[in-house]
Amino acid sequence: MLGLRVGLDKTEALLFHRPRAGPPTGACITIRGVRVELSPRMKYLGPTLDGRWNFREHFRGLVPKLLGTANALGRLLPNLGGPSVACRRLYTGVLRSMALYGAPVWVGALTRPNVAALHRVQRVMAVRVVRAYRTVSHEAACVLAGTPPWELDAQVLAEVYHQRARDRSRGTSPDRDRVDSWRRSARSSLFHRWRQRLSEPAAGLRTVEAIRPLLMEWVDRRHGSLTFRLVQILSGHGCFGRYLCHIVGREPTATCHHCSRVEDTADHTLMECPAWISERSQLIRVVGADLSLPVVVQAMVGSERAWQAVADFSERVILQKEAAERVREDDPSSAPLRRRRLGRRQRAYARDLPPQ
């Protein structure tokens, strides 16, 4: 009726087969005298299909595209200053939509390498959303950002899709209230699975254990934004001797430079170090005497005043620790590993300076 015709010269064919089988060499089909060879893969409505239905080729092509987008967006999201939390979440949503396109089709074929590839991309954006150091793990970054792992997101998207498809196959179209009910149930199931997975985190144990009991409250809170220095206290990755020595190799020992403690950690800074008695006393007046991270997180979630008190403590203390670290970096007699390292932009600027 519309006068449309299929271009046989552009037609592709794909044979689905068992894992150890495959189409014979040179196999093809003939349509109206036109020879159409069987392809090992075919892009169809977005996802890349392959003969084994494992979507390995789909993720092989998708991940570089996602990483390129994540890195480009990441350049717009510095840890200090830059766009607001709402804007950062918007950028993350763009990347999530790209990653989960066609999820009901490929979710059943998710393999460990495919999940690892998704984690790699998601961590890049989660770290940028919460203004954390790049060394923060995927699990800790996602918990702080309040973004469930994408493979769990894909599962619940597929469940809602299949529920709607079953209703339509019976000749009925689900109304909006019914679909909303499915989505609420799927979200509840998503958080249950996420919480179960976080019971045995592979990394970021301190952060995950503090937030996991209040996971849904943390994600749904209406107050409090994460700052660069607050996230250092929450993640343990920042201006602390243990991090600088054992993780990034910028200090010869993990000793606290502000007291005689053998190991300087985020918990030591928050609860014990005598150098911060004044700042800590102001925090205790709002949060209480127990400054263990789970108790502090519970107070932050429950009260905007407590959140601000913890953020103020983090800002004042970490600023002083950073200033002391810069003094050590600039000291000519300090160990070489402690010297300040120029970033890419600083190195380019230094090359353009006239010789002294």
Cβ atoms of 299 and 306 within 8 Å: the answer is yes
pLDDT at site 165? 82
Q: Which pTM was predicted?
A: 0.84
Determine phi and psi for 6, rounding to 5 degrees.
-75, 130
Whole-angstrom Cα distance, residue 78 to residue 337? Answer: 25
Write down the residue that tokens 């084994």 correspond to.
52
- Residue 353: its pLDDT value, please? 46
Query: What integer pLDDT is reported at residue 349 of this predicted model?
Result: 43
CA proximity to 251, closest of 260, 259, 263, 234: 263
Q: Which helix (H) or strand (E) holds 74?
A: helix 56-74
CB atoms within 10 A of CB 217: 13
How many other C-beta atoms are found inside a 10 Å radius of the C-beta of residue 286? 16
Using a 10 angstrom Cβ sphere, with 0-12 exposed, 13-18 middle and 19 or more buried, the burial of residue 91 is: buried
Give the pLDDT score at 234: 97
Integer-rounded Cα radius of gyration of the chain: 26
Helices (H) and strands (E) in the chain, counts: 16, 5
Structural contact between residues 223 and 304, judged by C-beta atoms closer than 8 angstroms: yes
pLDDT of residue 356: 45
Q: How far apart are the C-alpha atoms of 24 and 42, rounded to whole Å?
A: 18
Residue from 41, 60, 61 nearest 51 by CA: 41
Instruction: Tell me the domain boundaries of the chain.
Output: 8-39, 53-216, 226-342
Strands 34-39 and 41-43: unpaired
Residue 299 CB neighbours (<10 A): 20
What's the CA gap between 85 and 82, in Å, rounded? 9
Q: Which pLDDT belongs to residue 331?
A: 74
Whole-angstrom distance, CA of residue 231 vs CA of residue 63:
28
Strand partners, 31: 34
Strands 13-14 and 34-39: what pairing? Answer: parallel
Question: 3-class DSSP state for residue 2?
Answer: coil
**DSSP character string of 145-171:** HT---HHHHHHHHHHHHHHHHHHHHTT
Per-residue confidence in pLDDT tens, the chain, 356 aa? 566 777 777 777 777 777 777 777 777 777 777 777 777 777 878 787 776 777 888 888 888 999 999 999 989 999 998 889 899 999 999 999 999 998 888 888 888 888 998 999 999 999 999 999 999 999 999 999 999 999 999 999 888 888 888 888 887 877 788 888 888 888 888 999 999 999 988 888 999 999 999 999 999 999 999 999 999 999 999 999 999 999 998 888 899 999 888 899 999 999 999 999 999 999 999 999 999 999 999 999 999 999 999 999 999 999 999 999 888 888 776 666 666 665 555 554 445 544 54
